[in-house]
Structure 1
Amino acid sequence: MSATQDAVALSDASALDDNQVREYLKIHSDFLQRHPDLLDHLHVSHASGSAVSLVEKQVSVLRERNMEMRHRLNALTINARDNDKLYERTRALILHLLDARDLAGLCDAFIHSMNRDFDIEFASIILFGEPAESSGNLRFETSEKVKLEIGSLLKGRKPLCGALRKDEFEFLFPKGSEVGSAAVMPLKGDNRVGLIAVGSTDANRYYNGMGTLFLQHIADVLLRLLERLPGDDN
């Protein structure tokens, strides 16, 4: 090719804009594969300010993607392990509940499992009825008193989570003398029969918007068992 032809070629090339080159490379995605020698002539600015070849840049991008995928895989693995642990603990809890022969045994199984297996600081189950002499963790309160003490926490069928006032916290958890947070789940089928609650002295442990599927699941199991088990005169 003559010098004149080179000049014309360069002139034509300079007439190409970025979009044309971009579209050409998109259509001819194997261009660099057919012309691998160009890889050493193409450079991309590095974060440090120095220039690196396109091959080096591609390797760097692949390494970053690989690290990102590893982080995602690690997160998925951790979540899977946590879910496995939760499943085993939930399974054990339900079996303990099924083994209960009366209401007192049912309440004991629920409280003990929450404290021991789930490492929950406070747990409570309150059934509606006339208060009677305490029998383990079996506790009855009239619906009127519950409404008076914590009526704002029992709206609807879904759990309510958040920080509580000192009087609310102490009513739910008589052994708790501090302000804290709790998740409160009404036990409500055809009729409202009571509630379950889990709590912590950490005011941020239970918060509005947190997942409550586990508590709802346990409440469904308890509702069915409460209808079948014998209790006291309540």
Structure 2
Amino acid sequence: MSASNDAVARSGTALDEEQVREYLKNNSDFLQRHPDLLDFLHVSHASGSAVSLVEKQVSVLRERNMEMRHRLNALTANARDNDKLYEHTRKLVLKLLEASDLDQLCHSFLQGMREDFAVEYASIILFGDPDDSGGSTRYETPEKLKLEVGGLLKGRKPLCGALRGEELAFLFPNASGAGAPGSGSAAVMPLGATDKRGLIAVGSADANRYHAGMGTLFLLYLGEVIVRLLDRLPATADND
């Protein structure tokens, strides 16, 4: 018993609720030592009826159990999603490593985004002469990219968020006419940390699909792989 409770006992003064509360906090095993009291303690139930403390404890434990199940289900679902994301990323990286030229590299990226990751729009744009664009390879001058989507190229990490209609149409020409003007969102990853080489992007007509709070680790990883392959691959395969 605490000193304050000793004093109250000696003085014969009746305990108030706060003193009882403090005593029970300081003697958490009190009901274990006096289990017969559980039958006399009742708390109000949500239905309005009174239930014993034992019943209330069982109800609380049941609710906590349900909450833990929900959490476990959420963790399991996240683990499955992460496993699927890892497998798709691994498959795409292997395809990128097998590319014999830049056009095949770009084709593998766009195909993987569309078929494995099921993204609505995908794009890879490299710095260069637009007249050299062909097949799956698209070139744009640094000045053009800065003019059209300069704000999306800042930093070294993917930038996610809603896009203006002009930005969406520039990044994804096949998105023209899809959805209302100005609607859309994307995750844009600059290729190169200091010496920018272009960009990769995935997008959607849904303005809320890509947002600042979402994870972009896999896109960052793919960007780093592509940057390392750019200097190793010719623009087209040598057929000689």
Common fold by TM > 0.5: yes
Aligned to 1:220: 224
Residue aligned with 1:198, SS: strand
Q: How far apart in 2 are the matches of 1:118 and 1:135?
A: 24
The Cα shift of 1:18 comes to 2.1
Matches within 5 A, 1:58-97: 58-97=57-96
The aligned amino acid for 1:186 is P
Matches within 5 A, 1:70-219: 70-177=69-176, 178=178, 179-219=183-223
TM-score, normalised relative to structure 2: 0.86
Q: How far apart in 1 are the matches of 2:23 and 2:148?
A: 73
The C-alpha deviation readout for 1:55-96, integer Å capped at 9, x for no partner, is 111111111111111111111111111111111111111111
Between stretches 33-42 and 82-91, larger displacement belongs to 33-42
The Cα shift of 1:217 comes to 1.3
The Cα shift of 1:133 comes to 4.4
Say whether the 8 Å CA contact 2:132–2:139 is kept in structure 1: no
Aligned to 2:4: none
Aligned to 2:235: 231
Q: How far apart in 1 are the matches of 2:83 and 2:218?
A: 13
The Cα shift of 1:38 comes to 1.1
Q: How far apart in 1 are the matches of 2:224 and 2:174?
A: 26
Provide the alpha-carbon RMSD of the alignment.
Answer: 1.9
Q: How far apart in 2 are the matches of 1:190 and 1:101?
A: 26
Say whether the 8 Å CA contact 1:189–1:223 is kept in structure 2: no
Q: How far apart in 2 are the matches of 1:166 and 1:32?
A: 67
**Matched residue pairs, number?**
222
Structure 2 runs not aligned, ≥5 long: 1-8
Q: Which runs of 4+ in 1 moved over 4 A?
A: none
Between stretches 138-147 and 205-214, larger displacement belongs to 205-214
TM-score, normalised relative to structure 1: 0.88
Residue aligned with 1:71, SS: helix
